[in-house]
Amino acid sequence: MQYRALYLGKSFEENIQGDKKSFTIQYIDWENIYNNVFHVTDEYTVDGINEPRRSDLVLFINGIPFIVIENKRRDKNFSIDECLSQFTRNQNKEIGIPKLFHYAQMLVAIQPNEVKYATIKNIHEFFYRRTQLQP
């Protein structure tokens, strides 16, 4: 699902006893946030092309996986790079879980002292970096 469909919805036409009716389904209510259902799940497992893959956290809006988060430990060197590699692998159509990323709009890589985020299908250099997070 593209951003356009998420933002604008999808139009349908229905024929009821010879009378054509058009209507639009809004996937997300952008006008009133309280009309949406938010859900966060941890260790979200998806059947991959070759094997199941797991994302640390996934934020769903109305059942649509919207944000995928990989969270790593402080004591591992290069853990943000590991997150970015997982995003690259998991978006890969041959070995990953591309269905999850078909809907996602944002990727977030987290370790206690650093955060990087980007839209889907970005290469590592285009992830925005945020450091020295305040408690």
Q: Give yes or no for a contact between 67 and 78, defined as CB atoms under 8 angstroms apart.
A: no
Between 66 and 89, the higher pLDDT residue: 66
pLDDT digits (tens, 9 = 90+) for 36-69: 999 999 998 888 888 888 888 999 999 999 999 9
Helix boundaries (H) for 9-132? 79-91, 98-103
CATH topology of domain 37-131: tt1808, chain A (3.90.1570)
Q: Which residue spans of the chain are classified as CATH 3.90.1570.10?
A: 37-131
Rounded to two decimals, the pTM is 0.77
DSSP state of 59: E
